Amino acid sequence: MVRVETGARLHFGFQNLSLAHERLYGGVGVSLDGPRAVVEAHPAGDVDADPELASTVERACDVLSVPGARVRLVEGLPRHVGLGSGTQHALAAFAAVARAHDRTATVREAAPALGRGGRSGVGVAAFERGGFVTDAGHPAERFTTAPPPPGEWTVPAVLARHDVPADWRFLLVVPDAADGMHGTEEDESMRSVVERADAAIADDLAATLLRRVLPAVAEGNVDRFGAAVAAFGRLNGAWYADEQGGVYRPPAGDIVAELRSSPAVSGVGQSSWGPAVYGVTDADRERAARSAGREALADAGVEGSVSVVAGRNRGARIVDDG
């Protein structure tokens, strides 16, 4: 039996969604030490997998040219809330099947065949090595409003990666709300956003990333980092406003507004399509940040979960167990 364990991720946004620039997308995000996903696999003669993993396991077996596998999602990430469940579950399942059959294969090479890494490379990079990551995006002349056919693109390269300082923490507030966009709905929304994206926003994002986000993480300054990624997220939200009902998707906007005034967090934003909201904080403010998260949910009039987690500076853990 093979066990693969990986963590969630936050997605702060993209560097560019305008076809007027040479590079499209370019994800920015960070790997988290929790919540976690755990997948177990055994070699088998056919596919026997939990429903949420079945299609991925079938693809994995085709890619690896193996007859099958028995695969279970022992511990799963919350699905479609902005924490990267789709990519982490898929890559964990693939890695488990490969190891179970003693096959040498990398998730980066296999991700396109699994339908992962087509826009953002943050999830793949987080699975590989963890940490804070920004990727290089895709050439805009090839990745227009839809990806090229399967087999004609690769996961975007890692542009910059930094370890997350040990004392940094991330407040996660996940309201009980409808799932964030995914699948066909997400593809259609992204196509609409790219077709009308304001190129000037990308210029502001480039300046924010280069002059604020990257220096803050390189120097380990949590307050500047929080403020910088919050600004990065707000700029991204201007692109998505028509698709998600505002700079932040309701009810994330109400929660963000409540948390902004709290001294327990240095920056607040929405991860991916939400509804998950993050706050950047540190170990000294962990308890206060958790309390602020609960108060923000109550003030917004919604139920939900609140947790505080560390960053994750390692990739997925793969263990052979007999």
Q: How confident is the model at residue 181, as a pLDDT?
A: 58
Provide the pLDDT for residue 105.
84
Q: Which of 297, 257, 262 is nearest to 280 (CA)?
A: 262
Confidence bin at 179 (pLDDT 50/70/90) = low
Please state the rounded mean pLDDT for residues 30-48: 97
Query: What does the pLDDT read at residue 147?
Result: 65
Q: Give the pLDDT confidence of 248-257 residue by residue, as tens digits.
A: 999 999 999 9
Copy the structure tokens of residue 128.
Answer: 């590989």
pLDDT for 261 beyond 70: yes
Q: Which amino acid belongs to residue 278?
A: Y
Cα–Cα distance between 133 and 214 in angstroms, integer? 10
pLDDT confidence of residue 145: 65
Per-domain residue ranges for the chain?
A: 2-320
Q: Residue 39: its pLDDT value, please? A: 98
* pLDDT per position as a tens digit, 211-228: 999 999 999 999 999 999
Q: Is the model's pLDDT at 287 over the cut of 70?
A: yes
Report residue 94 as tokens. Answer: 């693939």
With CA atoms as reference, report the closest residue to 218 among 128, 298, 132.
Answer: 132
Question: Does domain 2-320 match CATH 3.30.230.120?
Answer: yes
* Mean per-residue pLDDT of the chain: 94
Quick check: 68 and 61 in contact, CB under 8 A? yes
Residue 177 is predicted with a pLDDT of 86
pLDDT, average across residues 147-157 = 81
pLDDT of residue 245: 86
pLDDT at 12 over 80: yes
- 235 has pLDDT over 70: yes
Condensed to tens digits (0 to 9), the pLDDT of residues 56-109 reads 999 999 999 999 999 999 999 999 999 999 999 999 999 999 999 999 889 999
Considering only residues 145 and 41, tell me which one the structure prediction assigns the higher pLDDT: 41
pLDDT at 189 over 80: no
Which range, 105-109, 138-142, 309-313, has the best average confidence (pLDDT)? 309-313
Element housing 16 (H / E): strand 2-16
Cα separation values, 25 from 1, 52, 89, 110, 255, Å:
38, 27, 22, 20, 27
